[in-house]
């Protein structure tokens, strides 16, 4: 079993002087980070699907063994709540698969107001191409053996955030 250790994001000005050298240009943060960690979670993809040039830059600035965990777009998880989003999902997957082996898991972080709907999840999973994926349910109704079995049947990981607001 392999483990990739990293942080949620890498481009933080407040890390200069602590993690990054004070004079390091922002454009050099990812290569510096990738020399020290094996992965990072990209939250940028939650807000917008990156341009192909951005994907290419991420790829060329990191070693082959580096992995990017990408947050799925909010258009899929929050606005559509996994419904009627096949076109967005297809486009997102097309763009991010350009990362090749550097593409780690795609995190589908659902909003806390989205209650369990097994039929919706099943339909969405049928649309999801074969890829590394993880689901983070933020409403406790999802923590159910039928949901766990459904994820397991597709080899999809369950992500659990340690919070005081959800009883798992």
Return the structure tokens found at 103.
């593409």
CATH architecture label of 18-159: Alpha-Beta Barrel (3.20)
> Residues 120-146: pLDDT tens digits?
999 999 999 999 999 999 999 999 999
> Residues 22-70: pLDDT tens digits?
999 999 999 999 999 999 999 999 999 999 999 999 999 999 999 999 9
Domain ranges of the chain: 18-159
Buried b / exposed e over 107-131, threshold 16 CB at 10 Å, is bbbbeeebebbeeebeebbeebeee
> Residues 66-103: pLDDT tens digits?
999 999 999 999 999 999 999 999 999 999 999 999 99
> Residues 142-167: pLDDT tens digits?
999 999 999 999 999 999 887 777 66
Q: Is the pTM of this model over 0.85?
A: yes
């Amino acid at each position: 079993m392999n483990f990739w250790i990293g942080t949620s994001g890498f481009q933080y000005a407040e890390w200069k002087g602590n993690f990054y050298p004070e004079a390091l240009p922002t454009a050099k943060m990812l290569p510096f980070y990738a020399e020290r960690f094996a992965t990072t979670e990209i939250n940028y993809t939650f807000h917008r699907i990156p341009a192909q040039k951005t994907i290419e830059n991420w790829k060329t600035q990191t070693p082959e063994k580096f992995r990017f965990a990408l947050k799925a777009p909010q258009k899929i998880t929050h606005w559509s709540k996994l419904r009627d989003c096949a076109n967005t999902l297809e486009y997102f997957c097309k763009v991010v698969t350009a990362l090749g082996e550097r593409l780690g898991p795609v995190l589908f972080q659902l909003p806390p107001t989205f209650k369990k709907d097994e039929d919706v999840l099943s339909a969405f999973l049928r649309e999801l191409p074969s890829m590394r994926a993880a689901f983070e349910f933020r409403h406790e109704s999802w923590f159910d053996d039928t949901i766990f079995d459904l994820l397991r049947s597709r080899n999809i990981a369950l992500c659990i955030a340690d919070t005081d607001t959800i009883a798992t």
